[in-house]
Structure 1
Amino acid sequence: MDSGAEHAVLEVEGLTYGVPGRTLLDGVSLRIAAGESVAVMGASGSGKSTLLMCVLGLLRPRSGVVRVAGVDQGRLSRAALARHRRDTIGMVFQFGELLSELTPVENVALAGLLAGKRGAEAHREAAELLAELGVPQDAATGTLSGGERQRAAVARALVNEPTLLLADEPTGSLDARHRDAVADLLYRLPRQRGCGLLLVTHDSDVARRADRCVQLLGGAIVEKAPAGDPL
């Protein structure tokens, strides 16, 4: 499959990972196509964030394969993996992880600069993304509301046009109004930008908006009800 919605942007096959005395991922397999959103639910400590860290290449699994944009990350050197991650993956964290001493534009542009973009280009693209997402561009980052901070974090994740977008409890620190706005934004992005979205959450209201919802249970992936059905 080489185009459109059937093109896989993420393929996880037989992934295992554990710590002494405990297996967190036990043969996990998951596929996400371009334009598709998948939500992963699970109890605290079930391995949701561990799965994201393996996809990012920040944790090396015991066994199994992670392919992002068709590339087997386990075969890459550390430097090549860092470049591949920079070029293909965008990450949204629960608390945004923005630098408070920088403006929103500077926070977003920094990701572009680290990818090798020229300063003017990075700042222009950052400003355009923030305007599109409704974030004040030059306010002190520390004065942004929780929803504005998360939208700025989404802009930072998008500035390098990722193939795969990852989100780790992106609405977990938000009130209901901001939660819904950020969730709506994230779930629009795969179809608008042709990327895949892998979102982990404990919130069933957020999860059910995804194209597919799965659960991590006992270290394995269990398919849940179709989007819109009761979880």
Structure 2
Amino acid sequence: MLFDGVDLRLNVGDSVAVMGPSGSGKSTLISCALGLVKPEGVVRVADSDLGLMRRRERTRHRSRHIGVVFQFGELLPELTPLENVALAGLLAGADRKETYKTASELLGSLGVPRHNRPTGTLSGGERQRTAVARALVNQPSLLLADEPTGALDDTNRSAVAELLFDVPRRWPCALLVVTHDAQVAALADDTVHLVDGRLIPQETR
């Protein structure tokens, strides 16, 4: 059993960082929050229990209520930043015109240059900012980030981390970040450590 009585609650506006060594289950925790792994307990996002949903319903709920930022962005390099961000909205069934408008506004708000260059030609920091915009395009209740600064240099790491933890104050969502970087975790409202399957608040360590 990987987890032992994990209990974590996030409200809109909250940010929590989860730290732990490799193999402690941080990425599995993200998978549980996404509904990709079904734990013995209950995972609720936007007042709905993911474990009670059928696969198609869970996929639809995830696309509408959960945004994800991965370590390497997971963007399509041949598309422009605008196309990458808008694609997430279109796949969720949003109106095309409104989706492109929202995508453009998000990219502007997050400091991504407005151009038609393929995303693969952008700097690492610009790609991660684009990934954050993509994660926000469907106005999620929960934003998940799995080692979002792990592939960045020091300058971009700090800039992206500060932007990411500012998201819950600018958009109505909660933020859960898993990271091995103590400097990144320090920007969260709360930090917990995943140790032996349990989440331990930092102040009690």
User: Could you say which residue in structure 2 is the equivalent of 1:29?
Assistant: 7
Equivalent of 2:157 in 175, 179, 193: 179
1:32 aligned counterpart, secondary structure: coil
- Taking the aligned partners of 1:209 and 1:130, their CA distance within structure 2 comes to 22
| 1:155 is the counterpart of 2:133 | yes
- Taking the aligned partners of 2:203 and 2:143, their CA distance within structure 1 comes to 23
Equivalent of 1:104 in 81, 88, 97: 81
- May I ask how many residue pairs the two structures share in their alignment? 204
- Taking the aligned partners of 2:122 and 2:166, their CA distance within structure 1 comes to 23
1:44 aligned counterpart, secondary structure: coil
What is the identity, as a one-letter code, of the residue corresponding to 1:168? D
With normalisation by structure 1, the TM-score equals 0.86
- Taking the aligned partners of 2:111 and 2:82, their CA distance within structure 1 comes to 12
- Taking the aligned partners of 2:23 and 2:67, their CA distance within structure 1 comes to 23
Q: Deviations over 1:77-129 (max 9, x none)?
A: 11111111111100000000000111110000000101112222211211111
User: Could you say which residue in structure 2 is the equivalent of 1:215?
Assistant: 193
- Taking the aligned partners of 1:68 and 1:77, their CA distance within structure 2 comes to 15
- Taking the aligned partners of 2:203 and 2:127, their CA distance within structure 1 comes to 31
Give the unaligned 5+ runs of structure 1: 1-22
- Taking the aligned partners of 1:46 and 1:102, their CA distance within structure 2 comes to 35
User: Could you say which residue in structure 2 is the equivalent of 1:202?
Assistant: 180
State the Cα distance separating 1:225 from its structure 2 match.
Answer: 2.9
State the Cα distance separating 1:200 from its structure 2 match.
Answer: 0.3
State the Cα distance separating 1:132 from its structure 2 match.
Answer: 1.2
- Taking the aligned partners of 2:94 and 2:187, their CA distance within structure 1 comes to 34
What is the identity, as a one-letter code, of the residue corresponding to 1:125? T
User: Could you say which residue in structure 1 is the equivalent of 2:35?
Assistant: 57
1:112 aligned counterpart, secondary structure: helix
1:225 aligned counterpart, secondary structure: helix
Percentage of identical aligned residues: 61
- Taking the aligned partners of 1:84 and 1:142, their CA distance within structure 2 comes to 29
2:192 aligned counterpart, secondary structure: strand
What is the identity, as a one-letter code, of the residue corresponding to 2:22? S
State the Cα distance separating 1:136 from its structure 2 match.
Answer: 2.5
With normalisation by structure 2, the TM-score equals 0.96
- Taking the aligned partners of 2:87 and 2:197, their CA distance within structure 1 comes to 36
State the Cα distance separating 1:24 from its structure 2 match.
Answer: 2.0
Q: Deviations over 1:166-214 (max 9, x none)?
A: 0000000111111111111111111211210000000000001100000
1:86 aligned counterpart, secondary structure: helix
- Taking the aligned partners of 1:102 and 1:69, their CA distance within structure 2 comes to 31
State the Cα distance separating 1:133 from its structure 2 match.
Answer: 1.0
| 1:136 is the counterpart of 2:113 | yes
What is the identity, as a one-letter code, of the residue corresponding to 1:132? S
State the Cα distance separating 1:160 from its structure 2 match.
Answer: 0.4
Q: Deviations over 1:64-89 (max 9, x none)?
A: 00011111111111111111111110
